[in-house]
Structure 1
Amino acid sequence: MAGGWAMLPILICSAVAVAIVLERCWTLRRSSVLPTGLGNEVLNWARSGQLDPAHLTTLANGSPLGELLASALAVRNRPRELIKERIEDTGRHVVHRMERYLNTLGTIALIGPLLGLLGTVIGLIRMFLDVMKGGVGDPMKMAGGIGEALICTATGLVVAIPAYVLHRYFRSKVAGYCVDMEKQATALLDELTIAAPAAARPRRAASASTEPSAG
């Protein structure tokens, strides 16, 4: 309470930042976003062609990578451009969810020092108004008042610096995940593009063999 009323919003920002960091640390675990071996497993599913809607639903609900790959498998019989468009559209939604609350964390990193500065300025104004009314009085008391006013600035920086560092860390982590997910989605897209013409050739050959010969 030595910093005055401005300490309250700073402490609230601190509690929100801690909650966001803990939630993002849990949600953005690599095992949760990019399960080991899932990309190769989905490639094997695509090669076997044994995919049903229930299977795709389970895949999509399992992880962000699974959701991305399931979106491609759902339109696996369509042209390459349509599959690619579906992957990009799903990818935007997946990235948006992975970046959830990060803007709030960045805002806390921005306003933390400003709230601290505001509390300090208000404290100094109040102290100088007291000096104008009652005179300088005890210099030690004045120095103590300045120290109390600066508590807000120090507290704001203590909250803002870790928030900014962790905001940049989570942003970098999401960007790295996006690169890995793009690689695996591209590999699946190539597999689906190669498999589609190969599956179409036997059907064309069978239809041709059933046509009556001329003459």
Structure 2
Amino acid sequence: MNFIKRTLILFGLVAFAAPAMAQDQQATTLDELLQQVREARTEAAERHQERERRFIEARDEQQQMLDDARRAHEREEQRRDRLSRSFEENEEALTELNDRLQVRMGALGELFGVVRQVSGDAQGIVRNSIVSAQMPGRGDMVARLAETRALPSIDQLENLWFLFQEEMTESGKVVRYPTTIVRADGTREDVDVVRVGVFNTIYQDKFLRYLPETGQLVELGRQPAGRYQSMAGSLYSAEQGSITGMAVDPSRGSLLALLIQTPSLGERIQQGGPPGYVIIALGIIGLLLVLERLIFLTMAGQRIKAQVGSGKPNPNNALGRVMGAYAENKDDDVETLELKIDEAILKETPALEARLGAIKIISAVAPLLGLLGTVVGMIRTFQMITLFGAGDPQLMADGISQALMTTAMGLTVAIPLVLLHAVVAAQSKKLIQILEEQSTGIIASHAEKQK
């Protein structure tokens, strides 16, 4: 085995050195060959030792590098553990902060929604408020806040709160300030107006209406009833610190708009149409007849009472004329005298009962005319329904107004005339009863004298 190994080594060395020898020179003898082999063997051994030395050095360096790598690996593993723990801690903190953020974002989102809703409501209030006529531009901030997509700032919230506070404060003030108004004829005029809270604005005895579209105060083309204008005039001319009555519109214009649309007396009469005019004419005639009868019967009653206390007949009253008939026929028998006195009473009765029948007829005809106007109005209403359908109530309003107004006018005329007729008839009957009592007494006295 040793021989084989040596032979293999020798052949290896020869093979290894062969290129070198080939490069130098070729041996010509065995001694030269042996010398070349020795030299090659020595050189190979030296190279082998050098390689071994380098390998050992490299091995030591690699071991050092391996140790360094292992130490670096340990450090990185420790760093990995630290980072893992830090990552887990950060994950827990991040989860907690995310939950807290969601809660706060929910509260802020709810706040944002409430602020936008309140700003929208405030925008409508400020836009239609008559305070804006005195303080223009108040609604710009609210409009921006209502349309914003971002969370409101503290300043914006404070401005919104201040706006509500200002509106509430101004609602309790009566303020006079100069401004430009538009009169009913379209002309502009610089005047001092009086603002009653957030309810009404007046100039002298005229009510004004605020137009949010143009920011102007416009005089109403049609004013409310006279009592409201009188209160407005009293307030406008009142001194500072004084107390005066004033009608306010808590609906900020809605009630006033409905109030000025209420038909006046003349318009209601026009709604009655021809039947209504006839009813009014009959009512006036009836009232004149009643007035004439009351005056006549009152004066006649005073004269009759004066005649009762006087024994001498006076022809200026009914009882005096009856007593004059007795004086002319006092020599006749009782039956004849009674007939003469009855004739005198009958002559006086028509004057005392005159025109009572006409009053009674008017009081009965007035509601019938009202019923006629009702029928005519309903006929017009049904004609409108036939032509245009029942979709638009305004088309039927004219006929319904006539139907209702004529009935109301007929009853308005009939009820007082019936009562006044009863009063006049009772007074007339009372005077006739006095005449009959006095005539009966005269006849009785005459009968006693003849006995």
What is the rounded CA distance, in whole Å, between the counterparts of 2:369 and 2:320 in structure 1?
42
Matched, 1:3 2:257: no
For each residue in 1:147-178, what CA deviation from the matched residue of structure 2 results, as whole angstroms up to 9, or x when unmatched?
33210000000001111111122222222222
Of structures 1 and 2, the one with the larger relative CO (CA 8 A, separation 6+) is 1
Matched, 1:148 2:402: yes
Q: If the length of structure 1 is used for normalisation, what is the TM-score?
A: 0.77
Q: CA deviation at 1:140?
A: 4.8
CA RMSD of aligned residues (A): 1.8
Within 5 A, what are the aligned runs for 1:162-173? Answer: 162-173=416-427
Identity of aligned pairs, percent?
A: 28
Say which is worse superposed, 7-16 or 102-111, in terms of deviation: 7-16
Within 5 A, what are the aligned runs for 1:119-158? Answer: 119-143=373-397, 145-158=399-412
- Tell me the amino acid that sits aligned with residue 129 of structure 1: Q
For each residue in 1:59-90, what CA deviation from the matched residue of structure 2 results, as whole angstroms up to 9, or x when unmatched?
22x11111111111110111111111011111
Q: Which residue of 2 aligns with 1:67?
A: 321
Q: Is the 8 A contact 1:68 1:90 kept in 2?
A: yes
SS of alignment partner, residue 310 of structure 2: helix
**Residue of structure 2 aligned with 1:31, choices 292, 295, 302:** 302
Q: Which residue of 2 aligns with 1:189?
A: 443
What is the rounded CA distance, in whole Å, between the counterparts of 1:40 and 1:80 in structure 2?
24
What is the rounded CA distance, in whole Å, between the counterparts of 1:115 and 1:130 in structure 2?
23
Q: Is the 8 A contact 1:4 1:123 kept in 2?
A: no
Q: CA deviation at 1:144?
A: 5.7
Q: CA deviation at 1:190?
A: 2.7
Give unmatched runs, 5+ long, in structure 2: 1-269
SS of alignment partner, residue 4 of structure 1: helix
Give unmatched runs, 5+ long, in structure 1: 46-55, 198-215
Q: Which runs of 4+ in 1 moved over 4 A?
A: none
Say which is worse superposed, 180-189 or 1-10, in terms of deviation: 180-189
What is the rounded CA distance, in whole Å, between the counterparts of 1:141 and 1:132 in structure 2?
11
SS of alignment partner, residue 76 of structure 1: coil
Structure with bigger gyration radius = 2
What is the rounded CA distance, in whole Å, between the counterparts of 2:402 and 2:277 in structure 1?
15
Q: Which residue of 2 aligns with 1:174?
A: 428
Q: Which residue of 2 aligns with 1:105?
A: 359
Q: Is the 8 A contact 1:109 1:161 kept in 2?
A: yes
SS of alignment partner, residue 77 of structure 1: coil
Q: Which residue of 2 aligns with 1:51?
A: none
**Residue of structure 1 aligned with 2:333, choices 62, 66, 79:** 79
Q: Which residue of 1 aligns with 2:243?
A: none
Q: Is the 8 A contact 2:329 2:337 kept in 1?
A: yes
Q: Between Structure 1 and Structure 2, how many residues are aligned? A: 180
Q: CA deviation at 1:189?
A: 2.1
What is the rounded CA distance, in whole Å, between the counterparts of 1:187 and 1:14 in structure 2?
41
Q: CA deviation at 1:195?
A: 3.9
Q: CA deviation at 1:188?
A: 2.1
- Tell me the amino acid that sits aligned with residue 286 of structure 2: A
Q: Is the 8 A contact 2:381 2:398 kept in 1?
A: no
Q: If the length of structure 2 is used for normalisation, what is the TM-score?
A: 0.38
For each residue in 1:8-29, what CA deviation from the matched residue of structure 2 results, as whole angstroms up to 9, or x when unmatched?
2101111111110110111101
What is the rounded CA distance, in whole Å, between the counterparts of 1:153 and 1:112 in structure 2?
9
Q: Is the 8 A contact 2:366 2:411 kept in 1?
A: yes
Higher normalized strand content (fraction of residues):
2
Q: Which residue of 1 aligns with 2:413?
A: 159
Q: Which residue of 2 aligns with 1:16?
A: 285
For each residue in 1:173-194, what CA deviation from the matched residue of structure 2 results, as whole angstroms up to 9, or x when unmatched?
2222222222222222233334
Q: Is the 8 A contact 1:99 1:171 kept in 2?
A: yes
Q: Is the 8 A contact 1:112 1:156 kept in 2?
A: yes
Q: Is the 8 A contact 2:359 2:421 kept in 1?
A: yes
- Tell me the amino acid that sits aligned with residue 35 of structure 1: K
SS of alignment partner, residue 274 of structure 2: coil
SS of alignment partner, residue 305 of structure 2: coil
